[in-house]
Amino acid sequence: MLMPFFIAVLPPPQVMNQIQSFRQKWDYTETSPPHITVKASSGLTATEDWVPKIEQICRGFPSFELKLGAPATFGTSVLFNTVLCKEIITLHLLFVDAIKPSLQEQKQHYEVTDFIPHLTIIQKYKQMTDDQFFNIKQDAEHTLDEFEPFIVPSVHIFSMNKSHTYTPVLELPLRPLKKRNFLI
């Protein structure tokens, strides 16, 4: 059985709760907790032979600061928070280089030059009207626009379970930031 995977950053609990509360307010159910995808499913096979490569990259990649920016949209189908962080792009490129999905898979999954880091708030579903989507977007612009920057200490591998929802199944720590103590 094919077990789709992806690799993502989980925001801190207060951000997670704020996004989930917003989704509940609009009766929206998502198949995964709020996250920022770093590597889509292309090349992440059920054999899991790619996991050691990802672990090795994570061990050498320093923790980094990430800032969620203002809400934006991909057309009229996806509402998301922008991500202000160049390190997540570097990490994405390292993962793609290690996994080596085909160019067709990279295009299909918006990777490499098509990669736009973001945290999905809501994806439009069939029954949702353009007006509903617009109202949700307006609400998000007022309620999901102010987040404090946070340190990303790890990434998570997500896997689809039997109920077709994605859950984090493995946390991979990044290299801890070194604290410098200066003597005066």
pLDDT digits (tens, 9 = 90+) for 17-46: 999 999 999 999 888 899 999 998 888 878
- Return the domain boundaries, the chain: 5-173
Dihedral of alpha carbons 161, 73, 153, 88, sign: positive
Mean pLDDT across 84-111: 90
What digits encode the pLDDT tens for the residues 119-170? 999 998 888 899 999 999 999 999 998 899 999 999 999 998 888 788 899 9
On the question of pLDDT at 86 being above 70, the answer is yes
pLDDT of residue 180: 59
Residue of 148, 144, 97 lying closest to 119 (CA atoms):
144
1 pLDDT band (50/70/90 cuts)? Answer: very low
pLDDT of residue 179: 64
**Average pLDDT of the residues of the chain:** 90
Determine contact, residues 23/178, Cβ cutoff 8 Å.
no
pLDDT of residue 8: 96
pLDDT of residue 162: 81
When the candidates are 3.40.30.10, 3.30.565.10, 3.30.1360.30, 3.90.1140.10, the CATH number that belongs to 5-173 is 3.90.1140.10
On the question of pLDDT at 174 being above 80, the answer is yes
- Taking the model in full, what pTM does it have? 0.87
* More reliable by pLDDT, 24 or 107: 24
113 pLDDT band (50/70/90 cuts)? Answer: confident
Determine contact, residues 61/175, Cβ cutoff 8 Å.
yes
